[in-house]
Structure 1
Amino acid sequence: MRKSSSEAVIALGANLSLSASRPRVTLERAIDAISRQGFVIRAISRFFETPCFPAGAGPDYVNAAVVVETDKTPLELLNMLHDVEHEFGRERVQRWGMRTLDLDLICYDDLVLPDLAEYERWRVLPLDAQKQQAPQELILPHPRLQDRAFVLVPMADVAPGWRHPVLGRTVTEMLAELDADEIKAVTPV
């Protein structure tokens, strides 16, 4: 029997102004839009300025993370996040490009989707292939969250003890394994 609600972590990012609003304002408004979709916001991280990824792809980002409680399935949640992105002018034309708003479903409880083998295929995909390929289905947890300070630093504010269901490490432990310079580059706004 499925429990009545689940917790998910959503990573937020923006590096383009929207209607003269700076990226931080966009993220604040996006959090409001997420709550209007019926999600209960359990925690909001600080806002961080982070170097654009990949390097040189555009202006620096503002990133944050939120924990939401939901009774929606992971796919329903993802579709609602895409609706919010669209509301904020997001167009999906370039992988890892500049964005008015980026909402990534990082984890949903301890689910591994669609299955362990497919998750592992995406987790170990070489960087060059990552630039060219995008999954056609939802992969959870996000297959590269453990590699990205701009995800882990905000996530450590709201879910430091969340344990990766495949790697077996907490957010705090994964963050400690990153290069210190990458972590220092993620600075509170």
Structure 2
Amino acid sequence: MNDFYIALGANLPSGERSPTDTLLAALDELGRTGVVDLIVSPFYSTPCFPPGAGPDYVNAAARFKSRLTPDAMLARLHEIEAQFGRERHVRWGMRTLDLDLIACDGMVLPNLETYARWRDLPQKTQKSQAPETLILPHPRMQDRAFVLVPMRDIAPDWRHPVLDLTVDEMCNRLSPEALAEIVVLEI
């Protein structure tokens, strides 16, 4: 079984569902995919990324095991996003549901060279280009408090296979200002 880590987010309603309700419903749907040992972080309010691009997000992280391959899991996550009204028109745009595959075990996919190229891509280029293949671990997870803070709740000791840092260590490298923007929600 593969050990998967995903980041969840939403900042637009999906039909009658609020972003929080959408995340809860998406987790229920994911549970019907044959995943086991599902652990979910608390939900957080986080500023829209990039700043000013829309309403604040509700974010969380989940960890689970599945017999699916990483590519098959990514396809399933995209199916769930579409089920909740996700449309992919603008990169980093507002969304009804975002399910990002952050990591699978300690895999580096498709290879270290491709991973490093996407990790080091200038931010201006990141906004206009998307990889045609799955890149794991997520190339910019180490820079994003909205990913790392929830992930720290469920896997503080997970070690990045390229950077050789734990989630907790990556969180500690973020600025206090970035960490202060991530506020736990009472559900």
The TM-score with structure 2 as length reference comes to 0.98
Instruction: Note the 1:1-189 alignment, pairs <5 A.
Output: 5-189=1-185
- Tell me the SS of whatever aligns to 2:9: strand
- Tell me the SS of whatever aligns to 1:33: helix
Please state how far the C-alpha of 1:134 moved relative to its aligned partner: 0.4
Amino acid corresponding to residue 144 of structure 1 in structure 2: R
Q: CA RMSD of the aligned region, Å?
A: 0.6
Please state how far the C-alpha of 1:42 moved relative to its aligned partner: 2.6
Aligned residues: 185
Separation in 2 of the partners of 1:102 and 1:40?
21
In structure 2, runs of 5+ residues without a counterpart are none
- Is 1:35–1:41's contact at 8 Å kept on the other side of the alignment? no
Please state how far the C-alpha of 1:39 moved relative to its aligned partner: 1.3
Please state how far the C-alpha of 1:18 moved relative to its aligned partner: 1.3
Please state how far the C-alpha of 1:41 moved relative to its aligned partner: 4.2
Please state how far the C-alpha of 1:19 moved relative to its aligned partner: 1.5
Q: Which moved more, 1:34-43 or 1:158-167?
A: 34-43
Runs of 4+ in 1 over 4 A off after TM superposition: none
- Tell me the SS of whatever aligns to 2:133: coil
Please state how far the C-alpha of 1:6 moved relative to its aligned partner: 1.2
In structure 1, runs of 5+ residues without a counterpart are none
Separation in 2 of the partners of 1:95 and 1:122?
15
